Amino acid sequence: MTVWIALLGGFSVLVIEILGVHLLAPWFGSSTIIWSQQIAIILLAMAVGAWFGGNVARKQANLHSKLSKVLAVAAAFFVLLAYGVDYFAAKVLPAHLSLDQVAGLFQVGSFAAAIIFFAPPVFFLSWVTPILVELRVADGSSAGQASGRLGAIATAGSLAGIYFSTFIAIPILGVRASIIAVAILLAIASLLLSKRLRLAIGLPLLGLPLLLESPSLYANMPPSSTLVESLHTPYQKLRVIEFVDTNDGSVERWLQMNEGLDSYQSRWKSTAGELSQWPGGYYDLFALLPTYIEYQQADVKPQHNYCILGYGGGSAVMPIATAEQNHPYKVVGIEIDPVVTQLAEKHMPLPQELSANIEVYSDVDARAALRFCDEEQDAIIVDAYSRQFEVPLHMATREFFDEAYGKLADGGVLCFNLGTTSTELADNVLGYVTASIVASFGSEYVRLQHVARSRNWIIFARKAKQLPPLSDMASLLPSGWPIELGASCLPAECIEGEALKLNPTSALSDDKNSLMANQFFEWARD
Amino acid sequence: MRILIAVGLMLLSSSLFAQNASLPIPHDAKSLLEYYAVSTDGPTQQARVYLSAGAAMQIDSSLVSVAALSSEDRRYRLLAACFNPSLHSEALVDANDWLTNNQQLADSASYANVVEVRDFLSEKQQQALGISDATTMFVISLASFLLVFVVVFKRYV
């Protein structure tokens, strides 16, 4: 029995640690800062719990009874947290906020929620091992042997908790059902210890909260949007939302991750049943790529090869397809989360005729995948976000941009999407990422273009050939493209030339990278 | 993003865009860039055109040569500031000043447009206060929970 309880204790702690972040994600996101905070709070609760648990084990006479009560209390906290986080967050968070407003609030909110809902069950579960050690010692084991063996068993339980959370709880059972299931296991263990098995008849009551609809489905919804579908994946929480314009009947859908707000991972627009060529926002600037690739090339390339790192729902494809017109092209998309592409195919489908030009690979990290891409790419689009406003650290370094440079054909273009609150180069995220790209490509081959009506910049960098001068853009662009795309080509909306002669020491590297902290403080400050 | 869409709608609904245009109004990317290349319009009209395209930073660039900004120029700068959240509080002060200093335009579309801008920025300010209140609420909840937990723990454990 002690072995199973030690196993269950270790298992339950890791389930809270991992599923806890998934409970927080719809409200507060799951940035690296929030993950670090969650781990820190769990470890603190474990340390304090083990301390108190040791004292209780030493002082108390009836340890079986004590252990039974501890497991019952932990089970109660599990049931509470399965829904408490949602109701707490829904009650306190204001509605209709934007991403640039909330970074600081989310930091405080996630900290408070984690302390209130996750620390107590972990605190009590940490009593289990000291009590079990004391019981073993009372049965004649040595203290060293008992603590060593029980520690090993609890760790094995934690290991099982990690894999259960990632491969069973999130994709199959669901986050809340899994937490309730663990609560029921803890309650059963408690009843077995106290020998009150008749009370087991009440265990199904613990599952009653599952009948309630979770408020997290509608967490941080933008105004006038409606929910189409929402689900958790091992990587993130995803949802598709919809805006319907009753004036022209157009439908706009966003694929959002985690905290949602006014941000999107993919965007899709349809009017009168016809898919728009221009999803809007920064995606439209990808239409500039064929013009940039072909500028001052001796011969027109027979086919343009695009590699999109962070393919999402494929929103980048429509502007590229529009710009390529009848020119052959091929798109290879890398999307780490396969559910993203599945959701997009279901709710944000691309025209069937484009599918012959597109190959999408999932469950693989974009930087690792780049190494296996063919050489001679004509464009590499980097639109990868590991969290809502976090560019993955390893995809914003000098070494990564060197790898991208090596994969590009002469005159090929790197195109990097950066969401930032900055509007000028300084010691900020925009400055550091730009310095890293400039270090690989050279300042004379790089241009930053601000996306109209947006907080995004697109950084274009061309391999060994200059980008077309802004003064030539009017003659290079065809008619009928969105006016906002033209706005991004106006001189005051671009940064290039002398302004890009940045301090090379600002470049980020795989070894030394301040991007994460800078991203967080930049958004929190604003 | 929705903030920016709201700003765009505010601009379109103001019906002010078509006034005083000496060149054809740009309607796409190409015509906007052609307009930029050949325009001999005054800074105010240029600011109007760039605002319609969402080129907020280009507006300041157009108006930088203007020695004394007219009330219309200031209105465009206010609208451009709506695109940049870090300028919102400053722009709210400017919007109130604009309304105070232009009472004679009270029946005009420009005045109504700045009222819309002022209301939009006020809403943003209210949201900022709401964020501050929510932060306080999280801290109070945390402190209350810790207090209750310690009391219950000492009492029963």
- Phi, psi of A429, deg, nearest 5: -60, -45
In this structure, which topology does domain A280-525 adopt according to CATH?
Answer: Rossmann fold (3.40.50)
Provide DSSP, A477-511: SPTTS-HHHHHTTSGGGEEEGGGG---GGG---SS
Burial of A167 per CB tally in 10 Å (0-12, 13-18, 19+): exposed
What pLDDT shows up at residue B10? 55
Backbone angles phi, psi at A370, to 5 degrees: -60, -35
Chain B residues lying within 8 Å of A494, measured CB to CB: none
Lowest mean per-residue pLDDT among A153-162, A491-500, B60-69:
B60-69
Residue A177: C-alpha distances to residues A12, A81, A116, A186 (Å) = 14, 12, 20, 14
Strands A456-462 and A446-450, how do they pair? antiparallel
Nearest to A250 by CA among A272, A267, A224: A272
- Look at phi and psi of residue A333 and say left if phi exceeds 0, alpha if psi is from -120 to 50, else beta: beta
Handedness of CA A193, A196, A199, A200 (dihedral sign): positive
Q: Which of A368-372, A445-449, B104-108 has the highest mean pLDDT?
A: A445-449
CB contact under 8 A, A487 and B32: yes
pLDDT of residue B11: 53
Give the other-Cβ count within 10 Å of A149's Cβ.
17
What is the model's pLDDT at position A299?
Answer: 87
- For a pLDDT cut of 70, what percent of chain B falls above it? 84
- The whole-number pLDDT of residue B7 equals 55
- What's the domain count of chain B? 1
Chain A closest-CA separation from residue B131 CA (Å): 7
C-alpha span between A252 and A241 (Å, rounded): 8
pLDDT, position A525: 64
Whether A452 and B138 lie within 8 Å, measured CB to CB:
no
Q: Mutate which of B23, B49, B57, B120 to test chain A, going by most A C-beta atoms within 10 A? A: B57
User: To which residue do tokens 């090993």 refer?
Assistant: A152
The A residues from 149 to 178 touching B (CB cutoff 8 Å) are none
How many Cα atoms occupy the beta-carbon half-sphere of A323 within 13 Å?
26
Number of other CB atoms surrounding residue A444 within 10 Å = 16
Residue B15: its pLDDT value, please? 44
pLDDT at B23: 59
Classified as helix, coil or strand, A452 is coil
B54/A473 CB distance under 8 A: no
pLDDT band (50, 70, 90) for residue A246: confident
Flag whether residue A112 sits within 8 Å of chain B, measured between CB atoms: yes
Separation CA A416–CA A470 (nearest Å):
19
Residue of A470, A248, A292 whose CA lies nearest to B29: A470
Instruction: Tell me which of A50-54, A385-389, A431-435 is least confident.
Output: A385-389
pLDDT at A356 > cutoff 70 = yes
B75 Cβ contact partners less than 8 Å away, ≥ 6 residues apart = B98, B110, B113, B114, B117
Residue B87's pLDDT band, with cuts at 50, 70 and 90, is confident
Task: Indicate the CATH number of A2-218 among 1.10.8, 1.20.1250, 1.10.287, 2.60.40.
Answer: 1.20.1250
Contact A112, B141 (CB under 8 A): yes
In this model, does residue B4 exceed pLDDT 70?
A: no
Note whether B86 contacts A120, CB cutoff 8 Å: no
Top pLDDT among A466 and B66 is at A466
Please give the interface size between A and B, counted as residue pairs whose CB atoms are below 8 Å apart.
151
* Token code pair at residue A239: 């949802």
- Determine how β-strand A329-335 pairs with β-strand A251-257: unpaired
Q: Which of A466, A463, A453 is nearest to A496 (CA)?
A: A466
Q: How far apart are CA A40 and CA A47, in angstroms?
A: 11
Lowest mean pLDDT among A11-25, A90-104, A278-292, A452-466: A90-104
Among residues of chain A, what percentage have pLDDT more than 70?
99
Our measurement of the distance from residue A418's CA atom to the centroid of its chain's CA atoms, rounded to an integer in Å, reads 15
pLDDT of residue A241: 95
Is pLDDT above 60 for B141? Answer: yes
Region A500-524 average pLDDT: 84
pLDDT in tens, B7-26: 554 554 444 454 445 557 89
This prediction's pTM:
0.86
Taking the CA of residue B104 and the nearest CA in chain A, the distance in Å comes to 31
Greater confidence, A151 or B17? Answer: A151
List the domain boundaries for chain A. Answer: 2-218, 280-525
* Residue B6: closest C-alpha in chain A: A453
In 3D space, the residue among A276, A244, A243, A283 whose CA is nearest the CA of residue A456 turns out to be A283
The residue count for chain B: 157
Mean pLDDT lowest among A63-72, A368-377, A452-461, B61-70 = B61-70
Please give the pLDDT value at position B48.
86
User: What is the spatial distance between Cα A183 and Cα A480, in angstroms, rounded to a whole number?
Assistant: 60
Q: Which residues on neighbouring strands pair with residue A476, listed in sequence order?
A: none
Domain that holds residue B51: 2-156
Report d(CA B137, CA A268) in Å as an integer. 37
Scan residues 305-344 of A and list those with Cβ closer than 8 Å to B.
Answer: none
Pairing relationship of beta strands A251-257 and A304-309 according to DSSP bridges:
unpaired
* Whether complex ipTM tops 0.90: no
In whole angstroms, what separates CA B27 from the centre of its chain?
A: 23
Q: CB-CB: which of B84, B131, B137 is closest to A101?
A: B131
Question: At residue A182, does pLDDT exceed 90?
Answer: yes
CB A463, CB A483: distance < 8 Å:
no
Checking if the pLDDT of A145 tops 60, the result is yes
Residue carrying the six token digits 């990808």:
A286
CA distance B75 to A301: 48
